[in-house]
């Protein structure tokens, strides 16, 4: 490809709307074009990178007996109503009526369609197991699209679905997908960290996220410095020991009676700490939620934050939101002064297992400007429902090994795998069954596995860039080689074209034939992130050489024209990612 004919339009200013490195560089290097908030066109360079990522994904999915299909983005709403997700998912799901007044949705995932396909064709144990996958457009009405391709409203996803005769077969197959994911990310030169994750709206019996540590990631995860335990903060558990510089010995040896204290304009934990002169763990934090329309109070020790994901999972709630002022006023409660003390027994109260009867606490008085002192669980309020409903903290002791401390990082989710089980095949959903070897009807068991293509592209840039631009891994680069002639002398142009012809038999080559200065050409080559640059100049010709620069290392080597193909082959081989040492399941 000649640069002069390529649809490449770079610019050097930082776009005002872009904040993350990937967003800035993909815009500047002419890989993407913003159509609207969270909606992007992939320009020719971006399209080439996406196609290379898809090729890697296809190769690894095919290697574990995946079979590619294509399912429609436009779905009848009736399918989504069968599983209940039509009602469970909020405004993120696009809903509308077609010209015949049939209710339709734009698919954000394809569990309903693929399960309907399975229902029609899976009849016998001989049809199982089977894995179907697609690389298809998805649409999600994100409330806050951000980070360029990291969180968008329309995107391409590889989603795969496996069907099994039982849970044992799913458990046996799941590691092959897990390991294939590690290979996909490694081939994109990303060191993905598999972590335990919450199943969310997908449901199921277990899942893993594959995270790329990044300060621009929206997810947080913890790792144990000793045993390697890893989990998303929505799933993670840790010790709930009290961290205090003060001695806790005999701190509550005297069982003082419950005392009501006037606390005008004192609502937050920090305000209460100053008012009462005690530390956060001595408070009861009570937060009011509406879970599927019903009021629920969540109670935890004051040095923890409530995890809405853990709470929703415990409640088995589809929708969970902070209770409104109107809801609280109807039940005689007041925001900022909530507690489980003297609460209406008809209100559901979930208490975190950090709360103990060994301590006395300060808690809300359930009326304005009032708090209680000396609150004791079991004495002043009854504990009827206990669960782990708080977020783990950095520095908590790991419960898995009991030794290491948990560290916390931000990360970009590269992919997600789920053991769906029978969520979508139960009788009250899609009702998918088969006949076993004995002619008995059995329930089909499912797995589900997703990777966002554009997000993976952005994550690669987040990991591989410098102040000059993108540094594409050789496996996904839009072109492996760019040839940059210096000047317009016939000898220079002729040699450049000979180099292009020689290399084009093996690699994708971009010849920068523009009549631009060397500085502009080199700056654009670095910005585009092409892994290997070949420079041809009159001075080099006089020495019988061409120059090769490796973008990733900035290493420069020289060779003759006759040696060029072999030298590039050696460099390309060295740039290939390694699949050794991956944390296979």
**485 and 457 both lie in a single domain:** no
Do the domain assignments include residue 401?
no
Boundary of a domain, candidates 358, 387, 416? 387
Q: Which two tokens stand for residue 442?
A: 């059995």
Boundary of a domain, candidates 356, 387, 418? 387
Picking from 249, 322, 267, the residue whose alpha carbon sits closest to that of residue 291 is: 322
Banded model confidence at residue 168, pLDDT cuts 50, 70, 90: very high
pLDDT of residue 336: 86
Kindly report the number of other CB atoms within 10 A of residue 51's CB atom.
13
Q: What 8-state DSSP symbol labels residue 306?
A: B
- Is the model's pLDDT at 269 over the cut of 80? no
pLDDT of residue 285: 94
Do the domain assignments include residue 247?
no
Banded model confidence at residue 218, pLDDT cuts 50, 70, 90: confident
- Is the model's pLDDT at 296 over the cut of 90? yes
Kindly report the number of other CB atoms within 10 A of residue 477's CB atom.
27
Q: Which two tokens stand for residue 114?
A: 């693929």
Distance between CA atoms of residues 167 and 422, nearest Å: 9
**458 and 484 both lie in a single domain:** no
**207 and 337 both lie in a single domain:** no
Q: Which two tokens stand for residue 170?
A: 């799913």
Do the domain assignments include residue 325?
yes
pLDDT of residue 17: 84
What CATH number is associated with residue 555? 3.40.50.800
Look over the chain and give the mean of its residue pLDDT values, rounded to a whole number. Answer: 93
Distance between CA atoms of residues 208 and 214, nearest Å: 18
Do the domain assignments include residue 246?
no
Distances (CA, A) of 109 to 137, 157, 285, 320, 440: 9, 9, 37, 22, 32
C-alpha count within 13 angstroms, C-beta hemisphere, residue 237: 11
Picking from 258, 368, 351, the residue whose alpha carbon sits closest to that of residue 304 is: 351
Picking from 25, 146, 148, the residue whose alpha carbon sits closest to that of residue 467 is: 25
Do the domain assignments include residue 180?
yes
Q: Regarding beta strands 348-352 and 294-301, do their DSSP bridges make them parallel or antiparallel, or are they unpaired?
A: parallel
pLDDT of residue 202: 47
What mean pLDDT comes out for the span 382-404? 93
Q: Regarding beta strands 74-76 and 103-106, do their DSSP bridges make them parallel or antiparallel, or are they unpaired?
A: antiparallel
**221 and 134 both lie in a single domain:** yes
Share of the chain above pLDDT 70, in %: 97
**92 and 166 both lie in a single domain:** yes
Kindly report the number of other CB atoms within 10 A of residue 22's CB atom.
29
Picking from 555, 556, 551, the residue whose alpha carbon sits closest to that of residue 537 is: 556
Share of the chain above pLDDT 90, in %: 83
pLDDT of residue 235: 86
**352 and 434 both lie in a single domain:** no
pLDDT of residue 204: 57
Do the domain assignments include residue 295?
yes
Distance between CA atoms of residues 95 and 106, nearest Å: 7
Boundary of a domain, candidates 462, 490, 508? 462
What CATH number is associated with residue 199? 3.30.930.10
- Domain region containing 348: 259-387
For the chain, percent helix, then strand, then coil, each to nearest 5? Answer: 30, 30, 45
**381 and 419 both lie in a single domain:** no
* Higher per-residue pLDDT: 46 or 250: 46
What mean pLDDT comes out for the span 83-99? 94
Residues 6+ apart with CB under 8 A from 451: 57, 157, 158, 181, 184, 414, 415
Angle among Cα 133, 70, 56 to the nearest 5 degrees reads: 50
**274 and 210 both lie in a single domain:** no
**492 and 453 both lie in a single domain:** no
**165 and 221 both lie in a single domain:** yes
- Is the model's pLDDT at 117 over the cut of 90? yes
Backbone angles phi and psi of 13, in degrees to 5: -75, 150
Distance between CA atoms of residues 514 and 496, nearest Å: 12
Do the domain assignments include residue 252?
no
Do the domain assignments include residue 468?
no
Total tally of structural domains belonging to the chain: 3
- For the whole model, what pTM was predicted? 0.90
**275 and 316 both lie in a single domain:** yes
**53 and 82 both lie in a single domain:** yes
Q: Which pLDDT tens digit goes with each residue over 248-262?
A: 544 555 678 999 999
What CATH number is associated with residue 327? 3.90.960.10
Q: Which pLDDT tens digit goes with each residue over 21-44?
A: 999 999 999 999 999 999 999 999
Buried b (16+ CB within 10 A) or exposed e, 554-582: eeeeebeeeebbebbeebbeebeeeeeeb
């Amino acid at each position: 490809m000649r640069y002069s004919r390529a649809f490449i339009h770079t610019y050097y200013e930082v776009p005002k709307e872009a904040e993350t490195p990937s967003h800035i560089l993909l815009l500047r290097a002419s890989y993407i074009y913003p159509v609207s908030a969270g909606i992007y066109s992939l320009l020719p360079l971006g399209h080439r990178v996406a196609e290379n990522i898809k090729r890697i994904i296809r190769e690894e999915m095919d290697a574990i007996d995946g079979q590619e299909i294509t399912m429609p983005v436009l779905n009848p709403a009736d399918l989504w109503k069968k599983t209940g997700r039509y009602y469970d998912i909020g405004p993120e799901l696009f809903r509308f009526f077609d010209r015949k007044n049939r209710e339709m949705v734009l698919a954000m995932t394809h569990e309903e369609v693929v399960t309907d396909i399975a229902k029609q064709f899976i009849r016998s144990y001989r049809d199982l197991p089977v894995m179907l996958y697609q690389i298809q457009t998805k649409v999600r009405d994100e409330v806050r699209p951000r980070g360029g391709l990291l969180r968008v409203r329309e995107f391409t996803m590889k989603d795969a679905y496996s069907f099994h005769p039982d849970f044992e077969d799913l458990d046996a197959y799941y590691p092959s997908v897990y390991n294939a994911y590690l290979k996909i990310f490694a081939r994109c030169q990303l060191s993905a960290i598999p972590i335990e994750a919450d199943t969310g709206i997908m449901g199921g019996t277990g899942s893993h996220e594959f995270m790329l540590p990044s300060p621009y990631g929206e997810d947080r995860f913890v790792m144990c410095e000793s045993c390697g335990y890893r989990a998303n903060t929505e799933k993670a558990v840790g010790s709930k020991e009290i961290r205090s510089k003060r001695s806790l010995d005999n701190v509550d040896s005297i069982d003082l009676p419950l005392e009501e204290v006037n606390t005008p304009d004192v609502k937050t934990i920090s305000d209460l700490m100053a008012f009462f002169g005690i530390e956060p763990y001595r408070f009861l934090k009570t937060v009011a939620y509406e879970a599927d329309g019903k009021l629920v109070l969540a109670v935890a020790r004051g040095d923890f934050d409530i995890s809405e994901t853990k709470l929703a999972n415990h409640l088995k709630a589809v929708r969970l939101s902070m209770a409104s002022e109107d809801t609280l006023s109807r039940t005689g409660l007041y925001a900022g002064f909530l507690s489980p003390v003297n609460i209406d027994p008809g209100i559901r109260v979930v208490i975190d297992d950090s709360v103990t009867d060994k301590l006395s606490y300060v808690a809300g008085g359930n009326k304005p400007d009032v708090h209680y002192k000396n609150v004791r669980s079991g004495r002043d309020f009854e504990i009827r429902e206990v669960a782990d409903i708080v977020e783990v903290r950095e520095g908590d002791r790991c419960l898995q090994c009991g030794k290491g401390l948990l560290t916390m990082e931000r990360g970009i989710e590269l992919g997600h795998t789920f053991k769906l089980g029978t969520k979508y095949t139960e009788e009250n959903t899609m009702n998918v069954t088969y006949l076993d070897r004995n002619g008995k009807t059995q329930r089909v068991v499912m797995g589900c596995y997703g990777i966002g293509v554009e997000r993976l592209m952005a994550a690669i840039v987040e990991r591989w860039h410098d102040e000059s631009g993108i540094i594409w891994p050789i496996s996904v680069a839009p072109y492996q080689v760019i040839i940059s002639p210096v000047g317009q002398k016939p000898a220079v142009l002729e040699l450049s074209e000979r180099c292009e012809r020689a290399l084009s038999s093996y690699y994708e080559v971009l010849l920068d034939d523009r009549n631009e200065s060397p500085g502009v050409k080199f700056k654009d080559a670095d910005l585009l992130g092409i892994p290997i640059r070949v420079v041809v100049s009159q001075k080099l010709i006089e020495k019988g050489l061409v120059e090769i620069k490796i973008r990733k290392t900035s290493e420069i080597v020289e060779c003759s024209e006759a040696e060029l193909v072999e030298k590039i082959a050696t460099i390309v081989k060295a740039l290939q990612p390694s699949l050794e040492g991956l944390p296979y399941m």
